[in-house]
Amino acid sequence: MVKVKILIYFFVLLSQLCIAQQIKKVLIIGIDGCRPDALMAANTPNIDLLLNNAIYSLHALNDDITISGPGWSAMLAGVWSNKHGITNNTFSGSNLAQYPHFFKRVETIFPSLNTVSISQWGPINNSIVLNNADYIVNVANEISVTQEAIDRLTNHDPDVMFLQYDDVDHAGHASGFSKTNPAYIQQIQEVDTEIGYVLQALQNRRNYNKENWLIL
């Protein structure tokens, strides 16, 4: 029995050592305007795969101002509007110089890491990210978000990458943010397909087995 316990402990220790030796990387996927109840109602096999091995909440609160400017600023700067100062989509009153995008923290502490921000909604990069990432690009549609992400994952070596998809928000504004709205649900399912392409590109990376990806 003692030998068995020692053997089990050895394999646990070995597995933890292997994880510790892997290169840690981060992928953040943002879907603007996606209600959690609608997400659960939609057919999203790729997001479901992530949720099956995740810690998540369908009731988490971001900012009390449900507008893109303050909402994205809160998520990316890590503080609410009473600190980052943004209460609308014009970004007037911004205090992001004091509470910058988290990329600035990453670049300050780990300047060798490669940071990437790919956004369909331009103000995220133009007014929040600013010049605090190594690769910054605004794109016109969700397919272009995916194409840029696949290129970065395939031909480059990102360490922290942020993607923002905006078409779900467009669908909600056009016809209603409701889990009973077929057009809204369809758009959620379409972005799930795009996310699937990104995840496949990530898993196809040459050194994927040596990497430990945190996906948010």
Q: For residue range 102-146, what is the model confidence (pLDDT) as tens digits?
A: 999 999 999 999 999 999 999 999 999 999 999 999 999 999 999
pLDDT: is 2 or 83 the higher one? 83
Q: Is the pLDDT of residue 15 over 80?
A: no
For range 151-165, the mean pLDDT: 99
DSSP bridge pairs for 214: 26
Query: So where are the chain's domains?
Result: 23-215
Tokens for 107, please give them: 């670049």
Taking the whole predicted model, whether its pTM rises above 0.85 is answered as yes
Q: Are 164 and 194 in contact (CB under 8 A)?
A: no
Task: Classify domain 23-215 at the CATH superfamily level.
Answer: Alkaline Phosphatase, subunit A (3.40.720.10)
The pLDDT-based confidence of 20 (bands split at 50, 70, 90) is low
Q: Is the pLDDT of residue 67 over 80?
A: yes
Q: What sign has the CA pseudo-torsion 62, 63, 66, 71?
A: negative
Residue 1 confidence (pLDDT) = 52
For range 4-15, the mean pLDDT: 44
Residue 64 confidence (pLDDT) = 78
Q: Which helix (H) or strand (E) holds 163?
A: strand 160-165
Residue 11 confidence (pLDDT) = 41
Tokens for 110, please give them: 């780990």
Residue 33 confidence (pLDDT) = 97
Residue 5 confidence (pLDDT) = 44
